[in-house]
């Protein structure tokens, strides 16, 4: 739908006061991976008050289910978010994956413990998952592209530890 613009999506999410942590490729890039991604992955807090603000942000981004069969009935509301867990959307800011419980984790309460606030530029301050938690998610997902990223992130982690 729209060109990939993660800062735009993150701005909308923060403007709506959505409680989330950036995970996936954007987090990996922020942590030092040279890998390129074409989507934004977030882990959202699974609480009723957060469903409402998440839906508001998704509506502002004109979110549509990605990869769903044509004509699949889907109502973008708090009830649908509560009933599901992981959603893949196409938005005005590109692809956005909203994960309630990313692979290998217990969701937001698990990941927030080690997340750090990062300035991504243009006034965008968001929580980014830790490199150890990102490695855990990538290993648990187990897809070939994730296992390649495990090798890259392991090297990034070693380099960061060597410098500190």
Q: Taking Cα atoms as reference points, which of 40, 53, 126, 48 lies closest to residue 87?
A: 40
Task: Encode pLDDT of 80-112 as tens digits.
Answer: 999 999 999 999 999 999 999 999 999 999 999
Q: Taking Cα atoms as reference points, which of 15, 157, 30, 3 lies closest to residue 92?
A: 3
Q: What pLDDT, on a 0 to 100 scale, did the predictor assign at position 72?
A: 84
**Average model confidence (pLDDT) across the chain:** 95
Which residues pair with residue 89 across a beta bridge? Answer: 65, 96
Q: Is the full-model pTM beyond 0.75?
A: yes
Contact (Cβ atoms closer than 8 angstroms) between residue 15 and residue 126: no
Alpha-carbon Rg for the chain in angstroms: 15
- Domains of the chain, first to last: 6-163 (3.30.460.40)
Task: Encode pLDDT of 28-74 as tens digits.
Answer: 999 999 999 999 999 999 999 999 999 999 999 999 999 888 888 88
């Amino acid at each position: 739908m729209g060109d990939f613009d993660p800062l735009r999506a993150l701005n909308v999410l923060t403007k709506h006061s959505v409680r989330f942590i950036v995970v996936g490729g954007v987090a990996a890039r922020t942590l030092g991976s040279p890998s390129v991604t074409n989507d934004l992955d977030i882990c959202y807090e699974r609480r009723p008050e957060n469903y409402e603000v998440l839906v508001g942000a998704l509506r502002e981004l004109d979110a549509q289910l990605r990869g769903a069969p044509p004509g699949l009935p889907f109502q973008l509301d708090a009830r649908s978010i509560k009933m599901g867990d992981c959603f893949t959307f196409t938005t005005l800011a590109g692809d956005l994956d909203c994960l309630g419980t990313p692979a290998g984790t217990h969701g937001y309460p698990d990941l927030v413990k080690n997340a750090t606030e990062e300035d991504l530029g243009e006034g965008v301050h968001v929580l980014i998952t830790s490199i150890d938690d990102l490695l855990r998610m990538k290993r648990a997902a187990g897809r070939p592209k994730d296992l390649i990223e495990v090798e890259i992130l392991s090297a990034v982690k070693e380099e960061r530890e060597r410098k500190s």
